[in-house]
Structure 1
């Protein structure tokens, strides 16, 4: 599913990622832990194609047997929209849109017809226990509900791969625990692969593999 080789990242003279190698199998849930500043989020953004590795190093990144660095920006955006979902610590919902409309946005970008997108969005929201929240805007939802809407948005295009960056970091303990168990339920239901950056030891230890990053590489 993911094959990353010799991933480096420099910000001016700051060497953040120092030759990271990573393989993740289809259907696997992998957690990445480590101290703040270790490079976890930077790596996640590169793996998720939101950022690029430094080109002055010989590296490779393959997702679903597609060589990412060979794609044009337009093809990369299309690939990201169709194959990758993102869940962030702060849900990033658009406040002027309802839960249903927020979930539909990636599908509209993909070109899915409105009736099909809304049908799928309603199915996901219902699956996530939000049957009565379709027409509520983010400020009318609890933190846990907002995060579940964000999860539905990440799933709307049936991506192969979900990247989550501190997904429960902004939730109370009960909502966080519910979200953690939800990831495994989603894996069973939809077969997605998850890469999760977290400081939550409970979530990290639930994963199939826990990787520790220190000073720009795995130890």
Structure 2
């Protein structure tokens, strides 16, 4: 489903990724681990089409992303990729429900249909009673579950998570980790997770060790 071939990326004189070959199957939960500065987030951003490699090829669901024009790529990303970040990145002026609806509305889903889908997602994540609350009124765990609901709203092929439990306490961290596996069971959802959390990494289907821009086999 996701295939990278010889991905290289540099920032000035520093080469961050050095020929990354990676294949991820549908329904897999894969963790990417390694020391700070190893290139983990850069690789995740390239897989998420938020950044472009200097050379190499990225294919998602049979589509070579470099061949898409800017607007086509944005639409492809909106349909196929969901994102969960360490600090949730919710818009503070909007309610939980409105935050979850945003990717669907960007994807030209009618407002009524987007609201229905968002409510279903929030209900599935046990947040029905928090829909009208703004982020400042939610706990850390609730904010991150809203972010997961937002990532899921368009039923993407893959969810990319960058240190998703990094800002959570141990209880909420455990709940979030369990949620990923529930979503795989329910939706056959694919996850690629950058993490420093050894417990989360140990529970994933596969751990990819990235050191100095190279996958260690």
- Report how far residue 88 of structure 1 moved: 0.4
Return the offset for 1:217. Answer: 1.0
Aligned to 1:209: 206
State the distance in 1 between where 2:138 and 2:87 align: 14
TM-score w.r.t. the length of structure 2 is: 0.99
5+ residue gaps, structure 2, are none
Q: Which residue of 2 aligns with 1:5?
A: 5
Asked if 1:111 is matched to 2:118, the reply is: no
Post-superposition offset of 1:131: 1.2
Q: How big is each residue's C-alpha offset from its partner over 1:169-211, in whole Å with a ceiling of 9 and x where there is no partner? A: 0000000000001001001111111100000011101110011
Equivalent-residue separation in structure 1 for 2:119 and 2:19 (angstroms): 42
Please, what is the CA RMSD of the aligned residues?
0.5
Give deviations 1:124-167, integer Å, cap 9, x for gaps: 10111111000000000000000000000000001011100000
4+ long deviations beyond 6 Å: none
How many residues align? The count is 216
The corresponding residue for 1:19 is: 19
SS in 2 for 1:51: coil
Aligned counterparts of 1:203 and 1:16: Cα–Cα separation in 2: 25
Give the C-alpha shift of residue 215 in structure 1: 0.3
SS for the counterpart of 2:121 is: helix
User: What TM-score, normalized by structure 1, do the two folds share?
Assistant: 0.98
- Which of 143, 147, 151 is 1:146 aligned to? 143
